[in-house]
Amino acid sequence: MNGYVAAGYLVSLSTLAAYAGWVVRRGRQLARDKRRAEAGPTP
Amino acid sequence: MKGTATTLTRVLGFCALVTLAGTVVLGLWTTPPDVVQGELVRLIYIHPAIATMGEVAFGVTALASLLYLWRRTRDRRWDLLAGVSAEVGVVFASLTLVTGSIWGRPTWGVWWTWDARLTTTALLLALFLGYLALRRVPGEAGSRATRSAIGGLVAAVDVPIVHYSVNWWRTLHQGSTLLRRKPLIHGVQLEAMLLGFVAFALIYAWLVVHRYRVEDLATRLEDRGFETALAERRAEADELLEVVS
Q: For residue B229, what pLDDT is reported?
A: 62
The per-residue pLDDT for range A1-43, each reduced to its tens digit, is 789 999 999 999 999 999 999 999 999 999 998 888 777 666 5
User: Would B179 be classed as within a structural domain?
Assistant: yes
Residue B80 has pLDDT above 60, yes or no: yes
pLDDT of res. B34: 85
- Please state whether B140 falls in left (phi above 0), alpha (psi between -120 and 50) or beta: beta
Phi, psi (rounded to 5 degrees) for B127: -60, -45
- Say if residue B205's pLDDT is above 80: yes
- In angstroms, the first-to-last Cα distance of chain A is 61
Distance (Å, rounded) from C-alpha B116 to C-alpha B44?
19
Q: How many domains does chain B have?
A: 1
Nearest by CB: B43 against A5, A19, A27: A5
B99 and chain A in contact, CB less than 8 A: yes
Asked whether the predicted pLDDT for residue B226 surpasses 60, the reply is no
Tell me which residue in B3, B20, B236 faces A27 most closely, judged by beta carbons: B3
Per the domain annotation, does B191 fall within a domain? yes
pLDDT band at B179 (very low <50, low <70, confident <90, very high): low
Select the more confidently predicted residue: B228 or B81.
B81
Measured N-to-C along each axis, helices B7-25 and B187-223 cross at an angle, to the nearest 10 degrees, of 150
**Residue B61 falls inside a structural domain:** yes
Q: Distance between CA B85 and CA B238 in Å, rounded?
A: 39
Output the domain CATH number for residue B62. 1.20.120
Q: What residues of chain A, 7 to 36, have a C-beta less than 8 Å from chain B?
A: 7-9, 11-13, 15-16, 19-20, 23-24, 26-28, 30-31, 33-34, 36
- Average model confidence (pLDDT) across chain B: 91
Does B218 contact chain A (CB < 8 Å)?
yes
User: Helix (H, G, I), strand (E, B), or coil: what is residue B188?
Assistant: helix
Can you tell me the distance from the alpha carbon of B195 to that of B17, in angstroms, rounded to the nearest whole number?
A: 12
- Residue B102 covered by a domain: yes
Whole-number pLDDT of residue B88: 98
Q: With an 8 Å Cβ cutoff, are B102 and A1 in contact?
A: no
Judged by average pLDDT, the poorest of B111-120, B193-202, B233-242 is B233-242
Statement: residue B207 has pLDDT above 70:
yes
pLDDT of residue A43: 58
Contact state of A5 with B28 under an 8 Å Cβ cutoff? yes
Residues B38-72: tens digit of each pLDDT? 899 999 999 999 999 999 999 999 999 999 999 99
**Cross-strand pairs, B38:** B34
Domain extent for B107:
19-206
Residues of chain B contacting residue A8, judged by C-beta atoms under 8 Å apart: 42-43, 46-47, 98-99, 102-103
Q: Tell me the per-residue pLDDT of B180-200, one tens digit each, with 9 for 90 and over.
A: 667 667 788 889 999 999 999
Q: Does B213 reside within a domain?
A: no
H-helix or E-strand spanning residue B150: helix B141-156
| DSSP line for B87-115 | HHHHHHHHHHHHHHHHHHHHHHS-S----
Residue B12 counted as domain residue: no
